[in-house]
A and B are shown apart, each in its own frame.
Chain A
Amino acid sequence: MKEISYYPGCSLHGTAREYDDSIRGVLSLLDIQARELEDWTCCGASSAHCTDEDLAVDLAARNLAIAEKSNRELLVPCVACYSRFKVAENEVKEHSKKSRFSYHGNVPIRYSLDFFCDEPILDEVKKKRVKPLTGLKVVCYYGCLTVRPPKLTGIREYENPQHMDRLMEALGAEPVQWSYKTDCCGASLVMTRTDIVRKLGERLLSMAKEAEADCLVTGCPMCQANLDMRQEEFEKETGEKYDLPILYFTELMGLALGHKDVKKWLGRHLTDPVKVLSSKGLI
């Protein structure tokens, strides 16, 4: 059985519990063992890099130093954590920055979406798929930091990424084209400038509706929380009814692979995904 290190990050212990549960669920169906980093701490997220560069590098490096003690690759599901780790790695490796921890940039840091889109995993998914998501139209929403900046993420098609689209095809779903794949949803301002976030969120939701999507798929806990939990508020503001489920890609993987807990994960959403999935006969 393949083993990987796993850094859940703070969101997955709170608002994004269903992301954590569905990742663990899918990994076990793929015979991959996730070992949670012992005694991990917050990566510092946007508040550290908005305040002080050394602080940001140290908060990330503490976790990377723990991961470096083993030779396993490190799976990171939250894109804010992933971005902070890649910045710290780059500072240490390319700019010889010293952190206060014994970290040398030797652990492969993998963002969850990239990890599950590796060819061998996609092949395995196709083989193990028990319920193809036939007839489900999805818009793939990558957001900002999953692809940018490409010098850190290594994503070549950063203006029009395709990997999540390929994963959705492997599950049997139909990714529909839209031009908002990598637009920002403004989630970092959600507590402070709700007015800005509302504008960005409303545009994403109405564009997804215009593309005639049944749901929006993401791998970012901030985007998910923002678009799912504030959807009703956006609806009140615009007078439009979006009713657009915001799903983690791992929830759809779990559904196609026949995981027994899918309903439990979906039950945590504020914008109900069960209705549309059952109308397609998928649940």
Chain B
Amino acid sequence: MDLNQKGSSFLSEVVQASGETLQACYQCQKCSAGCPVAFAMDILPNQVLRHIQYGHREKVLSSKTIWICASCYSCSVRCPNNIDIAKIMDTLRTLALHSEFKPGEKDIPIFHSAFLDTIKSKGRIHELSLILQFKSKTRDFFKDAALGLKMYRKGKIKLLPSKFSGGKEIKEIFNAFEKGART
């Protein structure tokens, strides 16, 4: 079967955005065999590639897998066809955020957006601000509270963010990102 001729627009979208020739995948499953978080995924990395080839857009973009992937690059270094699967996962997350589908994992995309909000407002990640921001978005205030107290006692929690003066540049970076077009 010639996957190119079959013409899946989702396939070409992912190929173009990632720059990876994922048509070359021949389903040897090496990627999934070495994936440390495969046990928690709803579709395995090799299956993700297969679904993309078949144009199953919703299946892939609303999967848990793309968010659970920890970007450890084990799959990418082991693929006999040199497909950078970790990079494809990045592409899929970006496409998912721009899609109409509900993300397959609730908290992970929220965490990333809290993280980016913290950079936008403070330039650096001030851990306490990040945690508060994340918790206010998920409304789960009690998880890890005891651990937080222990860390505080060990001097591991800084109460105030550090000052920085690169605010203008950071603002420009985020303006471009939010507009979705970079100059």
State the main secondary structure of chain B at its contact with A: helix
B176 to chain A, nearest CB (A): 7
| Inter-chain contacts of A95 with B (CB < 8 A) | 19
Known: A189-B108, A268-B154. A100 touches B176 (CB 8 A): yes
Q: A192 to B108, Cβ gap below 8 A?
A: yes
Please measure, in the bound complex, the distance between the C-alpha atom of A34 and the C-alpha atom of B25, giving whole angstroms. Answer: 46
CA distance A62 to B172 in the complex (A): 11
Q: Is B107 an interface residue (CB 8 A)?
A: yes
Residues of B87-140 contacting chain A, CB below 8 A: 90, 93-94, 97, 105, 107-108, 110-113, 115-116, 119, 123-127, 131, 134
**Interchain CB contact (< 8 A) of B177 among A54, A183, A194:** A54
The one of B119, B151, B165 in contact with A270, judged by C-beta atoms closer than 8 angstroms, is B151
Contact A229:B151 (CB < 8 A) given known A50-B93, A51-B94, A189-B68: yes
User: For B93, what are the chain A residues with a Cβ–Cβ distance below 8 Å?
Assistant: 50-51
Interface size on A, residues (CB 8 A): 54
* Chain B residue total in the interface (Cβ 8 A): 58
* A25 CA to B100 CA, complexed, in Å: 51
Let me know if A47 is at the binding interface, CB within 8 A: yes
CB-CB < 8 A to A52: which residues of B?
A: 94, 177
State whether the Cβ of B3 lies closer than 8 Å to any Cβ in chain A. Answer: no
Known: A46-B112, A192-B111, A199-B39. 14 other contacts (CB 8 A): A11-B125, A41-B123, A47-B111, A50-B71, A52-B177, A58-B176, A100-B183, A144-B71, A148-B74, A149-B73, A189-B68, A192-B110, A229-B147, A270-B154
Subset of 19 A-B contacts with CB under 8 Å: A13-B124, A14-B156, A14-B158, A15-B151, A39-B165, A51-B97, A53-B90, A53-B94, A54-B176, A100-B182, A144-B72, A145-B72, A148-B76, A150-B77, A184-B72, A184-B74, A189-B68, A191-B131, A193-B40
A interface list, Cβ under 8 A from B? 10-11, 13-15, 17, 39-42, 44-55, 58-59, 62, 95, 100-101, 144-145, 148-150, 158, 183-184, 186, 188-189, 191-196, 199-200, 229-230, 233, 267-270
User: Which 6 pairs show the lowest CB-CB distances between chains A and B?
Assistant: A47-B115, A10-B125, A148-B73, A184-B72, A47-B112, A144-B72
